């Protein structure tokens, strides 16, 4: 039996279903008709970093240790980008390799640096540059470039908001897929898993053109951009159709996404709320002339956006450093830590950290009762925060981290975590200023993640035309192991999605759990990036709204 898993980052039935009804995605429509489908619950928060790590381990972030794209060091309020060496649990491809299956993995998150595998690996978005060794075996990189000289391990390393970028997406996808199929055939994979960054990139940048109700929607611009967006979706559909046509009678195809997508109408400036409610204190409170500074920064940001495509005289990097108030150095210098009880995490954390004595370098909150009192007060206050234009609550839920996850690495999560649900807001982390809810800027991102992704399965033993309910990303690893008639580590948080399969298969093949593979006793050393590599990774995360 062969298994193909196609990851399409950020895909949502909210976009796919209307396009299928219009006849524009015939191959996906056929898979829904002849296979099973349903929503796929993401992680909390629904971020690609935690979500794809959960997919590849079958375990929640509390066990695998990756909550977002960075790891905090509370001693000095700094952070560093994470990669595959930060993942604390065995991956699905490691388990498959140990059991003699030939595995191919291409462009999945947190596969850099690529490690040994029974097959091949091409690492993903966290690869800090095209000049790095991003394949296993290492010699495979040269072979790929001989086959496709224009191949990029991250084809969307440089993004922009113009139509030219969007028009080029299909050719980038097809170039990536040509290499995928070249490798799949070369290694005769039993299991092949790959990830496409589209449609997530499109949703972040161009959602306002998809959504007439978006506050930044422009009907004229939408008429120009929509055909280009639909062509990107049609390209993904063609790729999936070609994959389905390659299946043998005993093979299985799964199409999955790590989270959904939806509108972003604005940001909730968490640090401003904490300041207003006396949980965070600055050494120097904003003065009247700070408004002039903010106006100047807004002007510089507009200039910076116009320089995204061309690093004129190195100005792009200089302006980035000048405008970015979120650097840990600024945080340390601007905040009066002796009077600060809590501070907002980065945009990609969706949470708040308490400034705890003995944990943070300049902690002011006593562990125990005071810590719990601070968390309770913040949760109560933020839970009541509403959008004055709609009257709706900004958050679906504000909760303690241990209410969300358990495991040895829960301490890597913020003390308080946000669940926005379908709310069109994103957390902000600016320290100065007064406005709590800010509208999305005209030239800013217009889309963000939603908690429900997609799951589509077709092939050997799969029910025809069925619906799956209650599926989660953590269920996919045990389900794939089950489909291949392999044992499942007992400590995986996910369960086998038996609703995917025909009853006759379930009756004759029960899931088998294997204690021998329950834990990864060998922990890898966490390898960081150099300063230049940090900048490369940070630039791409910032373009997509994670910083």
Tens digit of each residue's pLDDT (9 = 90 or more) over 53-98: 999 999 999 999 999 999 999 999 999 999 999 999 999 999 999 9
Residues 425, 265 contacting (CB under 8 angstroms): yes
What confidence score (pLDDT) does residue 291 get? 45
pLDDT digits (tens, 9 = 90+) for 206-239: 999 999 999 999 999 999 999 999 999 999 999 9
Rg of the chain (C-alpha set): 23
Name residue 398's beta-bridge partners: 418
CA dist 383 to 125, 126, 266, 334, 390, Å?
34, 34, 17, 27, 16
For residue range 420-467, what is the model confidence (pLDDT) as tens digits? 999 999 999 998 888 999 999 888 899 999 999 999 999 999 999 999
pLDDT at 4 over 70: yes
Q: How far apart, in whole angstroms, are the C-alpha atoms of residue 306 and residue 316? A: 10
Give CA separation, 428 vs 96, 400, 439, 545, in Å.
40, 19, 11, 10
pLDDT of residue 297: 52
**Is 80 exceeded by the pLDDT of residue 308?**
no
- Kindly tell me if the per-residue pLDDT of 379 is higher than 70: yes
Q: Mean pLDDT, to the nearest integer, of 339-355?
A: 96
Q: Is residue 43 very low, low, confident or very high in pLDDT (cuts 50, 70, 90)?
A: very high
User: In Å, what is the CA distance from 417 to each residue of 30, 149, 379, 402?
Assistant: 39, 44, 9, 10
Task: Identify the pLDDT of residue 66.
Answer: 96
- Would you say the C-alpha torsion 94, 95, 98, 101 has a positive or negative sign? negative
Structure tokens, 322: 């000048």
Mean pLDDT of the region 342-356 = 96
For 270, the 3-state DSSP assignment is: helix
DSSP lists the bridge partners of residue 7 as: 195, 256
Contacts 24+ apart (CB under 8 A), 159-162: 159/201, 159/205, 159/543, 159/544, 160/308, 160/309, 161/205, 161/206, 161/305, 161/443
Residues 352 and 345: beta-carbon distance below 8 Å: yes
Question: Cα-flanking dihedrals φ and ψ of residue 254, to 5°?
Answer: -125, 130
| Residues contacting 436, CB < 8 A, separation 6+ | 268, 269, 272, 273, 276, 385
Q: From CA 404, how far away is CA 303, in angstroms rounded?
A: 41
Per-residue pLDDT, 539: 76
Cα distances (angstroms) measured from residue 85 to each of 44, 50, 57, 77, 398: 22, 14, 14, 22, 30
- The residue written with tokens 């429900």 in the block is 452
Mean pLDDT rounded to a whole number for the chain? 91
- Per-residue model confidence as pLDDT tens digits over 469-519: 999 999 999 999 999 999 999 999 999 999 999 999 999 999 999 886 655
SS3 262: strand
For 224, phi then psi, to 5°, come to -80, -40
d(CA 423, CA 435): 18
- Cα(372)–Cα(114) distance, integer angstroms: 41
Look at residue 305 in the predicted model and tell me its pLDDT.
Answer: 52
pLDDT at 537: 79
Write down the pLDDT at residue 322. Answer: 46
The phi-psi region of residue 133 (left if phi > 0; otherwise alpha if psi is between -120 and 50; otherwise beta) is beta
What's the confidence (pLDDT) of residue 326?
A: 42
> Is residue 318 scored above 50 in pLDDT?
no
Mean pLDDT, residues 236-254 taken together: 97
Structure tokens at 203: 């949703």
Which residue ranges make up each domain of the chain? 3-262+450-543, 266-448
d(CA 384, CA 386): 6
The C-alpha atoms of residue 304 and residue 301 are separated, in whole angstroms, by 5
Task: Answer for the pair 260, 10: CB distance below 8 angstroms, yes or no.
Answer: yes
pLDDT confidence band for 545 (50 / 70 / 90): low
Distance CA 200, CA 24 (A): 19
Say which CATH superfamily domain 3-262+450-543 falls into: Alkaline Phosphatase, subunit A (3.40.720.10)
The tokens of 110 are what? 């947190």
- Least confident segment among 289-298, 386-395, 413-422: 289-298
Query: What's the CA gap between 45 and 419, in Å, rounded?
Result: 6
> Once rounded to an integer, what is the mean pLDDT over residues 136-148?
98
Q: What is the DSSP string of 342-376?
A: EEE--GGG-EEEE-BTTTSTT--BPTTHHHHHHHH
What is the token pair recorded at 111?
A: 């596969």
What is the per-residue pLDDT across 357-378, written as a single tens digit (0 to 9) for each? 999 999 999 999 999 999 999 9
In 3D, which of 95, 115, 92 has the Cα closest to residue 193?
Answer: 92
SS3 content of the chain, % helix, strand, coil (to 5): 40, 20, 40
> Given pLDDT bands bounded at 50, 70 and 90, which one contains residue 327?
very low
Question: What are the start-end ranges of the H helices in 74-139?
Answer: 92-98
CA distance 171 to 148: 13
Average pLDDT over residues 100-113: 97
pLDDT above 80 for 285: no
**Which two tokens mark 276?**
């207003």
pLDDT at residue 292 in the model: 43
Query: Of 71, 77, 81, whose CA–CA distance to 431 is shortest?
Result: 77
Flag whether pLDDT at 293 surpasses 70. no
pTM of the model: 0.92
């Amino acid at each position: 039996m062969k298994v193909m898993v196609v990851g399409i980052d950020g895909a949502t039935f909210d976009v796919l279903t209307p396009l299928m009804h219009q006849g524009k995605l015939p191959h996906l429509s056929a898979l829904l008709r002849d296979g099973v489908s349903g929503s796929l619950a993401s992680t909390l928060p629904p971020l690609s970093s935690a979500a794809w790590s959960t997919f590849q381990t079958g375990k929640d972030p509390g066990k695998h240790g990756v909550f977002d794209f960075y790891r905090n060091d509370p001693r000095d309020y700094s952070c560093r980008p994470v990669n595959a060496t930060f993942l604390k649990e065995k991956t699905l491809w490691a388990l498959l390799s140990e059991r003699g299956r030939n595995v191919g993995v291409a462009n999945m998150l947190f596969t850099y640096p690529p490690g040994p595998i029974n097959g091949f690996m091409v690492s993903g978005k966290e690869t800090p540059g095209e000049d790095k060794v991003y394949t296993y075996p290492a010699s495979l990189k040269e072979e790929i470039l001989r086959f496709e000289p224009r191949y990029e391990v991250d084809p969307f390393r440089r993004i922009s908001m113009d139509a030219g970028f969007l028009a080029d997406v299909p050719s980038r996808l097809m170039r990536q897929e040509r290499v995928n199929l070249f490798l799949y055939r070369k290694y005769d994979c039993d299991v092949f898993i790959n990830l496409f960054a589209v449609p997530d990139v499109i949703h972040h940048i161009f959602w306002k053109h998809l959504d007439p109700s978006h506050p930044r929607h422009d009907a004229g611009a939408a008429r120009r951009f929509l055909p280009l967006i639909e062509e990107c979706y049609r390209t993904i559909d063609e790729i999936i159709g070609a994959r389905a046509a390659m299946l043998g009678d005993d093979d299985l195809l799964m199409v999955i996404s790590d989270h959904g997508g939806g509108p972003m109408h604005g940001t909730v400036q968490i640090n401003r709320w904490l300041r207003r409610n006396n949980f965070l204190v600055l050494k120097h409170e904003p003065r009247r002339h700070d408004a002039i500074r903010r106006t100047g920064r807004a002007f510089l940001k507009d200039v910076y956006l116009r320089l995204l495509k061309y690093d004129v005289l190195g100005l792009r990097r200089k302006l980035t450093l000048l405008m970015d108030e979120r650097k840990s150095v600024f945080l340390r210098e601007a905040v009066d830590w002796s009077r600060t009880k809590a501070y907002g995490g980065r945009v990609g954390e969706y949470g708040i950290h308490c400034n705890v004595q003995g944990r943070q370098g300049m902690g002011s909150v006593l562990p125990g009762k005071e810590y719990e009192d601070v968390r309770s007060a913040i949760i109560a206050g933020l839970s009541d925060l509403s959008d004055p234009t709609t009257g709706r609550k900004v958050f679906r839920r504000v909760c303690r981290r241990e209410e969300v996850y358990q495991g040895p690495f829960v301490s890597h999560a913020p003390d308080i975590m946000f669940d926005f649900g379908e709310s069109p807001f994103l957390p902000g982390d600016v320290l100065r200023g007064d406005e709590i809810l800010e509208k999305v800027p005209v030239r800013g991102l217009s889309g963000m993640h939603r908690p429900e992704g997609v799951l589509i399965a077709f092939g050997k033993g799969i029910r025809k035309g069925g619906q799956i309910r209650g599926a989660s990303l953590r269920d996919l690893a045990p389900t794939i192991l089950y489909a291949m008639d392999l044992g499942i580590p007992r400590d995986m948080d996910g369960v086998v999605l038996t609703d995917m399969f025909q009853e006759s298969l379930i009756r004759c093949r029960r899931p088998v759990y294997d204690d021998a593979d329950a834990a990864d006793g060998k922990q890898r050393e966490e390898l960081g990036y150099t300063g230049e590599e940090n900048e490369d990774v940070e630039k791409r995360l910032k373009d997509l709204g994670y910083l």
